[in-house]
A and B are shown apart, each in its own frame.
Chain A
Amino acid sequence: MNPDQAAQAAQLPRRIIKETQKLLSEPAPGISASPSEENLRYFNVMILGPQQSPYEGGVFKLELFLPEDYPMAPPKVRFLTKIYHPNIDKLGRICLDILKDKWSPALQIRTVLLSIQALLSAPNPDDPLAEHVAKHWKENEKEAIATARQWTAMHAQG
């Protein structure tokens, strides 16, 4: 650790340090999250597309930031890899209740990332963020899933 990072770490709440250590030492299957060197509240995240989902075989990059009032406020997360999913928009914003009103300080970075991984396995077109994707999903699920597969092959190859 250089002096800058040491100073940063000294200011970091104990809870964040513990969560970070656990994420690095015991990563959840198919998920990796590591803090950036310049900002220990900013994480580079990778989630592997779950098996049996149209995202299988894809490597999805995300960014995650712990705001000043974390864990009283939820982490901020978005996809950096393009993805065809009814609950994720063009800018990578994610529609997930625990990132908004259902957040609780009992949740952690790990639970958030597991929920996002689960969202890839279970798209919910009834609570859409990407309207036209959700419409596609409802009108022709088979075709929408095929498009999601194509996007995975095109954009999510790591």
Chain B
Amino acid sequence: MSVPVPRSFRLLEELDRGEKGFGDGTVSYGMEDPDDIHMRNWTGTIIGPANTVHDQRIYSLKIHCDLSYPEQAPKLWFKSRVNMGCVDQRDGRIDPTKFPMLGNWKREYTLEQLLTEIRRDMSSPLNRKAPQPPEGTMF
């Protein structure tokens, strides 16, 4: 049985990774409020994948890790308007019942993996050609 890392040190590890940067930079994240010792509010950025309607678009997201994270999934909202199957068009919230990684959350999943999965979903047959609102509009 592996040793579960407590919430605060888990989030500090994630912050560290976010600050150093990772991968090819097509997804990134950081803390929204650097004074919050509980590290609850984060922002994420996704650059839309090539060969889709999202190509080169820059999407901002809001991520909320409440005190039950990572036992419970974080809550995510798109701040930039986007038309995707899993996104509630009223407020930009990613619906956990329509996004399996949130619906079947496991403690091992990270913010990096989540954002990467959301980006991957932009290339799905449902989302890759879906008509999009004008670039830069916000929820």
Q: Which residues of A contact B (CB under 8 A)?
A: 11, 39, 41-42, 63, 65, 67-68, 76, 78, 80, 82, 90-93
Contact indicator B3/A42 (Cβ below 8 Å): no
Determine the main DSSP class of A at the interface with B. loop
Q: How far is the CB of B33 from chain A (nearest CB, A)?
A: 10
CA of A140 to CA of B4, assembled, Å: 44
Contact indicator A11/B1 (Cβ below 8 Å): yes
Task: Enumerate B49-81 residues with CB–CB distance to A below 8 Å.
Answer: none
Residue among A41, A76, A80, A92 with max Cβ neighbours from chain B (10 Å): A76
> Which bucket holds chain B's interface residue count?
10 to 19
Contact indicator A76/B3 (Cβ below 8 Å): no
Contact indicator B12/A42 (Cβ below 8 Å): no
Q: How far is the CB of A5 from chain B (nearest CB, A)?
A: 15
A63 touches which of B1, B4, B8, B35 (Cβ 8 Å): B8
Contact indicator B37/A42 (Cβ below 8 Å): no
Contact indicator A65/B34 (Cβ below 8 Å): no
Chain B residues with CB under 8 Å of A80's CB are 37
Contact indicator A67/B3 (Cβ below 8 Å): yes
Contact indicator B5/A65 (Cβ below 8 Å): yes
* B39 CB-CB contact with A under 8 Å: yes
Q: Which residues of B contact A (CB under 8 A)?
A: 1-6, 8-9, 12, 15, 34-35, 37, 39
Q: How far is the CB of A25 from chain B (nearest CB, A)?
A: 25
Given contacts A11-B1, A76-B12, A91-B12, contact A39 B6 (CB under 8 A): yes
Contact indicator B39/A91 (Cβ below 8 Å): yes
* 23 sample A-B contacts, Cβ–Cβ < 8 Å, listed by A number: A11-B1, A39-B6, A41-B3, A42-B6, A63-B8, A63-B9, A65-B5, A65-B9, A67-B3, A67-B5, A68-B2, A68-B3, A76-B9, A76-B12, A78-B8, A78-B9, A78-B12, A90-B37, A91-B12, A91-B15, A91-B34, A91-B39, A93-B12
Q: How far is the CB of A61 from chain B (nearest CB, A)?
A: 11
CA of A52 to CA of B25, assembled, Å: 47
Chain A residues with CB under 8 Å of B15's CB are 91
CA of A69 to CA of B1, assembled, Å: 13
CA of A76 to CA of B9, assembled, Å: 7
Known: A78-B12, A82-B37, A93-B12. 7 other contacts (CB 8 A): A39-B4, A63-B6, A65-B9, A67-B3, A68-B2, A90-B34, A92-B37
Q: How far is the CB of B32 from chain A (nearest CB, A)?
A: 13
Chain B residues with CB under 8 Å of A39's CB are 4, 6
Given contacts A11-B1, A76-B12, A78-B12, contact A91 B6 (CB under 8 A): no
Q: How far is the CB of B9 from chain A (nearest CB, A)?
A: 5
CA of A38 to CA of B4, assembled, Å: 12
